[in-house]
Amino acid sequence: MHTTTRPRGARLVAGFAAAAVGAFAAMGVIAPASAAPNIDPDQTGSITVHMFEQPATTGTPSDGRPLPSTNGLTPLEGVTFNAQRVTSIDLSSNTGWTTASGLTASEVIADPIAYPLTVGTPDTTDSAGVATFTGLEIGVYLVQPTAVGGNEVALPTQPFLVSVPTPIEGDEWLYDVHVYPKASLTDITMSLDDQDAYELGDDITWTIDVLVPRQSEGDTISSFIVTDQLDATRLDLQSTTVTLGSTTLVLGVHYSLTEVDGLVTITFLPDGLALLNASGGQTLEIALVTTVVALGDGTIENSATLYVNDAAFDAPFPSDTEISYWGAAVIVKHALGDEAALLDGAVFELRNSAGTVLETITVDGSYTIPGLRTTPAREVYTLTEIEAPTGYVLDATPRSFAVIAGPLASAVELQIANAQAPAFELPVTGGAGQTAFLIGGGALLAVALGALLVQVGRRRTAKQD
């Protein structure tokens, strides 16, 4: 027998507790009129609510008596219930039981004139998921949650009716009734992958993970919408992928998608809702690939919102917020010793912390890198000159710099100077150059004089002969 909550129309005739999720097996019609006189009208009773998260599998049904074990169930603390007696139904009479036998919780709620209620005294579940209502008069009680506390309840416990006392087998009456309602929870988280993005124009991926609530009896997912307000001034949406477990969902078949001024709205269509209702407990993943197109203030924040069975959009489930951090850098190239003498034509390589070349930059005086991804701990980049301005000496020293997240006004500034190339050494009059020429000329003159003397000696010898 199913252990989930029956719809608002669950009938008391089928057993009051059958309306509470996982509470009881259907027990047939309430005791016949002849049994009414067996009820002690002066005795008081109680209703003990044991509130749990909707489990993946059917649990042990209850007939109003305490279950021997709730192992495997997760109690929900902080859920507030109220138990209000329907004052127009007198269970000390056969007429009252006849009226109750065809009554539903939704009918009681819809007609407060025919079925007026006491105010009741709300109680909130403790760490064991227990809320207790004691000292109750004989009668029919409308039990319903009024607040869910900090629990992310997507499919809440539906209101249900409980009779005090309630009939159990053997023509017995149970004055202290235990009920075991359940609620289906959800969760939505945002994660960011920007590790491969370094400059404006690179892509970053925002991933939204949603825990699909488990379907409960008579309380299915009829509307399921996820929204994400992207920063339209700094992010351009490139693609969207939606997967449920290992199944990739199809746009136009399982869901529709719109984007207006950065607001991405994913609405599940009937085929998609059918998959969700059959996939309770699984994770729905929505991946949004966006291109970073502007720096802004240096912090790109993003979060998503889930709406389940919430056509009025007034009960949202917000995700956490992720932030992508960005900064800027300015390169100023000038002559050594004169920061006002800006130089044109220097070429640099920009590398990330892994040493990968991101781009080659030509700097004419100054150059602004308008967007570099960083972190709160500051991402480090390296700038290396590979070509010096004409007439200046190359400075190939790698320069590492840490990027601070912030607007362009907070850009880190790199002042890089080049020394002028040295001139060629020219001879100076009266200097070492002239001396060298004189020495060379004297040597040539001595050689010529020696040759002349040899020639004169030969002629004299010839005449004597």
Q: For each of the domains in the chain, give its residue range(s) and CATH number, in order of start.
A: 45-184 (2.60.40.10), 187-323 (2.60.40.740), 326-418 (2.60.40.10)
pLDDT digits (tens, 9 = 90+) for 107-133: 999 999 999 999 999 999 999 999 999
**Judging by beta carbons within 10 Å of its beta carbon (0-12, 13-18, 19+), is residue 153 exposed, middle or buried?**
buried
The answer to whether 284 touches 210, Cβ cutoff 8 Å, is yes
pLDDT number for residue 170:
65
Three-state SS at 2: coil
Model-wide pTM > 0.85: no
The answer to whether 243 touches 284, Cβ cutoff 8 Å, is yes
The whole-angstrom separation of Cα 352 and Cα 295 is 18
**Judging by beta carbons within 10 Å of its beta carbon (0-12, 13-18, 19+), is residue 56 exposed, middle or buried?**
exposed
Sequence-distant (6+) residues with CB within 8 A of 191 are 206, 207, 209, 322
For 160-251, where are the E strands, in sequence order? Answer: 160-164, 166-168, 172-174, 176-179, 182-185, 187-193, 203-211, 224-229, 235-244, 247-248
CA-nearest of 263, 258, 275, 416 to 333 is: 416
Residue 335: pLDDT band by 50, 70, 90 thresholds? very high
Residue 449: pLDDT band by 50, 70, 90 thresholds? low
pLDDT number for residue 39:
86
Quote the percentage of the chain above a pLDDT of 70: 82
Reply yes or no on whether the pLDDT at 15 is more than 90: no
The whole-angstrom separation of Cα 202 and Cα 356 is 15
pLDDT digits (tens, 9 = 90+) for 211-249: 999 987 668 999 999 999 999 999 999 999 999 999 999
| Average pLDDT over all residues of the chain | 86
Residue 1: pLDDT band by 50, 70, 90 thresholds? very low
Residue 3: pLDDT band by 50, 70, 90 thresholds? very low
